[in-house]
Amino acid sequence: MEIYNPSSQKRSRNPEMSIPAGVRIRGPMRPEFEKIFTRDALEFVAELERKFRPRVKYILKCREEQQARYDAGELPSFDPATKAIREGEWTCSSPPAAIADRRVEITGPVERKMIINALNCGAKMFMADFEDSLAPTWDNIISGQINLRDAVNRTITYEDKARNKTYKLNSKTAALLVRPRGWHLQESHIEIDGEPATGALIDFGFYFFHNHASYRAKHGGYGPFFYLPKMQHSREAAVWNAVFDHAEDVCGVPRGSIRGTVLIETLPAVFQMHEILYELREHSAGLNCGRWDYIFSFIKTVRAHPDRLLPDRVQVGMTQHFLKSYTELLIQTCHKRGVHAMGGMAAQIPIKDNPAANEAAAALVKADKLREVLAGHDGTWAAHPGLVPLVLEVFDQNMPKANQLHVKREDVNVTCADLLQMPKGTRTLEGLRLNTRVGVQYLAAWMTGTGSVPLYNLMEDAATAEISRVQNWQQIKYNAVLDGGLVPGMRVTKELFARVLDEELVRIEKEVGPAKFANGRYQEAAKLFAKQCTAPVLDDFLTLDAYRNIVTFAPTARM
């Protein structure tokens, strides 16, 4: 492969000459990857890794220690040590004009055609995702960087030869936000000083390095803008803030240009919202209710508490008291600190072949968005371009200004008990079956490189699949009693789950057809899902285990 070294302005045919010392690229090369692996960009990313790797390791260690305390019986709560921050009078830097109005944000993986469709769809913003909706294969990650670079430069096009269709950007497009991976995921295809790189720093580093100048030129000197996922504590936000400071300093970008919206999508983080905003106060663009990971995290955090079994996933909706409390506290917190309180994702997507079902799905999305705007959210997410007009209409009708930062929600008084109140509902055999069917099909798609899929007319991604996994794990671990059904008092056991898995695999094969089933990775996915659901100790993330199945090193990789 030929690598271009911009500092020498010469072309080299020897890859080693252009790769900085200590950096090893183990993923297979494609000629177009040269655009991303410039010498300067690699040096920038290697420096990020060297500077922040110890702090990332510390964060992950703290998570383990905190989980051990939860496993010993503690419940999450507000930290007395940071009361002064929660009660103090301070605000974050005010939102720049480019992100003042975020009423509808479409989200989707960093896939070329989807990026063009998302930017063109009429949403105010587009969150391009390296996280929940992307399977982090080497190709997806590096092609994603190329796609984003072309999108920022407005040169992105896509040819669909089969349909004889060319995709290109409209003159008016959504503004781009990028979501790097969470702190827990490594990028095994790039090693720095003999260790795999941190996924989050790879995603942030390459994107920032290649795009900050063009992005800021188009957005009034501000940006790039980010979403920051899956944090559990303000110390993790402090690391992102330090990464932003460092990136701004190294690239000569004025302090506070970068802005990040933190997803509050773990149970521990809801008790740290003021603290998280405080750490990021010069770089904050507010908080977002990442409801799917939040439900997953709720189960994971209290995994050692047998009295905390959740009802079936379909019953854990946003009107359950613990979720309503979380969203209201998030809105109050953000508006006190002068930043946006973003809503989350309704899982319904358009249903093409059934108008009545499609209408019912649209009505559910509409109700969800109406609840959000009336509660005081400043904007929300849409999973599909077909939903954008509907979501826009709800916000346009109920939010006349660019946002509603002025809605302080001083009436809200949320306590620990509210945030920890168990949702009401039933656990059924059909719930166990559905979790299994969805979990296996999602994993099979993920292992073939697709991180968000339509299943049973709903969007499924890593966060929703995690709920299926941990809910099964919880029910098996504590032999949950199932409600209803033909056998009253039936308990979930490993044996019952094994039978369910076998039967659901047969059903999946019928649904997808024998050819797709044989050519897909369903059996492998079933094995992995079963291992995860029956593990003596719950694994932190499904994708950590599954990642081993998508790593592909190049045979000729050399130092």
Ligand X SMILES: CC(=O)SCCNC(=O)CCNC(=O)[C@H](O)C(C)(C)COP(=O)(O)OP(=O)(O)OC[C@H]1O[C@@H](n2cnc3c(N)ncnc32)[C@H](O)[C@@H]1OP(=O)(O)O
When binding is defined by CB under 6 A, the residue of 35, 53, 55, 113 that contacts ligand X is 113
Helix axis angle, 291-301 relative to 462-477, nearest 10°?
A: 20
Q: Is 531 exposed, middle or buried (0-12, 13-18, 19+ CB in 10 A)?
A: exposed
SS3 478: coil
Of the candidate spans 48-56, 289-297, 363-371, 438-446, the one that interacts with ligand LL5AMS7Z by CB under 6 A turns out to be 289-297
291 binds ligand LL5AMS7Z (CB under 6 A): yes
For ligand LL5AMS7Z, the binding residues in 315-334 under the rule CB under 6 A are none
Q: What is the distance between the terminal CA atoms of the chain, rounded to a whole angstrom?
A: 14
Q: Which is nearer to ligand X, 442 or 497 (CB)?
A: 442
124 binds ligand LL5AMS7Z (CB under 6 A): no
Size of the site for ligand LL5AMS7Z (CB under 6 A): 10
When binding is defined by CB under 6 A, the residue of 266, 380, 435, 452 that contacts ligand X is 452
Least separation in angstroms between CB 114 and ligand X: 4
128 binds ligand X (CB under 6 A): no
280 binds ligand X (CB under 6 A): no
Question: Structure tokens of 259?
Answer: 């802005």
**Residue 45 CB coordination number (10 Å):** 27
Q: Of these partners, ligand LL5AMS7Z, Mg ion, ligand X, none, which one is at the site of residue 453 (CB under 5 to 8 Å by kind)?
A: ligand X
Q: Which is nearer to ligand X, 76 or 108 (CB)?
A: 108
Pairing between β-strand 3-5 and β-strand 10-12 as defined by DSSP bridges: antiparallel
Least separation in angstroms between CB 133 and ligand X: 3
When binding is defined by CB under 5 A, the residue of 108, 196, 290, 451 that contacts Mg ion is 290
**Residue 354 CB coordination number (10 Å):** 11
293 binds ligand LL5AMS7Z (CB under 6 A): yes
Chain center to CA of 130:
7
Q: Which is nearer to ligand LL5AMS7Z, 279 or 293 (CB)?
A: 293
Nearby residues of 551 by Cβ (< 8 Å), 6 or more positions away: 138, 188, 189
107 binds ligand X (CB under 6 A): yes
465 binds ligand X (CB under 6 A): no
372 binds ligand LL5AMS7Z (CB under 6 A): no
508 binds ligand X (CB under 6 A): no
Q: Which is nearer to ligand LL5AMS7Z, 259 or 291 (CB)?
A: 291
Least separation in angstroms between CB 98 and ligand X: 21
The residue among 276, 254, 252, 253 whose CA lies nearest residue 265 is 276
Of the candidate spans 66-74, 377-385, 392-400, 428-436, the one that interacts with ligand X by CB under 6 A turns out to be 377-385
Catalytic residue among 179, 181, 216, 259: 179
Least separation in angstroms between CB 375 and Mg ion: 20
When binding is defined by CB under 5 A, the residue of 129, 132, 328, 460 that contacts Mg ion is 132
Q: Are 538 and 473 in contact (CB under 8 A)?
A: yes
203 is annotated as an active-site residue: no
Q: Are 496 and 490 in contact (CB under 8 A)?
A: yes
316 binds ligand X (CB under 6 A): no
Q: Annotate 133-167 with b (16+ C-beta within 10 A) or e (fewer).
A: bbbbbbbbbbbbbbbbbbbbeeebebeeeeeeeeb
At residue 208's C-alpha, the angle toward residues 13 and 57, to 5°, is 95
CA pseudo-torsion sign 58, 64, 68, 73? positive
Site string for ligand LL5AMS7Z, 461-500 (x = CB under 6 A): --x-------------------------------------
Q: Which is nearer to Mg ion, 231 or 476 (CB)?
A: 231
29 binds ligand X (CB under 6 A): no
* Rounded Cα–Cα distance for residues 394 and 35 (Å): 41
The residue among 475, 490, 462 whose CA lies nearest residue 432 is 475
Catalytic residue among 112, 149, 461, 469: 461
Q: Which is nearer to ligand X, 96 or 386 (CB)?
A: 386
177 binds Mg ion (CB under 5 A): no
The residue among 116, 134, 126, 139 whose CA lies nearest residue 185 is 134
**Residue 305 CB coordination number (10 Å):** 15
461 is annotated as an active-site residue: yes
Q: Are 273 and 237 in contact (CB under 8 A)?
A: no
Beta bridge partner(s), residue 79: none
SS3 104: strand
Using CB under 5 A, list all residues that contact Mg ion: 132, 265, 290, 293, 463
Question: Which parts of this chain interact with ligand X (CB under 6 A)?
Answer: 106-108, 113-114, 117-118, 129, 132-133, 292, 345, 349-350, 383-385, 452-454, 459, 461, 463
Chain residues in the site for ligand LL5AMS7Z (CB under 6 A): 132, 263, 265, 290-293, 344-345, 463
Q: Which residues belong to the active site? A: 179, 461
